[in-house]
Amino acid sequence: MRKPLILGLALTSALAFGTVAIAAPMGHGGWHHGHGHGHHGMFALHKLNLSDAQKASIKQIIKTSFASSKAQRQAVFQQRKAFESLTPDQAGYQAAAANLAQAEADATKVHVEQRANVRAQIYGVLTSAQKMQLASMKAQREQRRQEWKAFQAQHRDQSTSTSNQ
């Protein structure tokens, strides 16, 4: 029972914080924070030399998205809180668990669809040159990821052969 509860909390936190994280400022250290993964696949917007109008449009897209999902996030939070107040021997416990699981699943579906919608809207704000630059940065990031995986595999192989001697 403990694992599903922890998993549910982790999933909900990811949903809530994922939406909050995308609302972060776009300046240096904003969306990207120097990490290899970005929010909504738009990890490098701050590197695209966005115009003020583009920044304003993107900020509005994010603000609207965040506001539109607020009611669902709150509803799931309240449902989770109610479930957590129950004990396993109470009547309705299993039904509450099933209802919460369905609410979490629905919230995840909506979140994934919303992320795709936000990404598409933001992509629509970019110029052709910015889209090409974004694609190039994505390809470079993937190449670095592949190189890192190869390095890790080689290092792992070397340490395994050394420890077997």
User: Is the pLDDT at 143 greater than 60, yes or no?
Assistant: yes
Q: Is the dihedral of CA 42, 45, 50, 53 positive or negative?
A: positive
| Pair 23, 62: CB distance under 8 Å | yes
User: Is the pLDDT at 149 greater than 60, yes or no?
Assistant: yes
pTM of the prediction?
A: 0.61
| Pair 83, 100: CB distance under 8 Å | yes
Integer Cα distance of 42 and 98 in angstroms: 35
Round the average pLDDT of the chain to a whole number and report it: 78
| Pair 67, 79: CB distance under 8 Å | no
Q: In the prediction, which pLDDT does 59 show?
A: 93
Count of alpha carbons within 13 angstroms of residue 57, beta-carbon side? 15
Average pLDDT, integer, range 18-47:
46
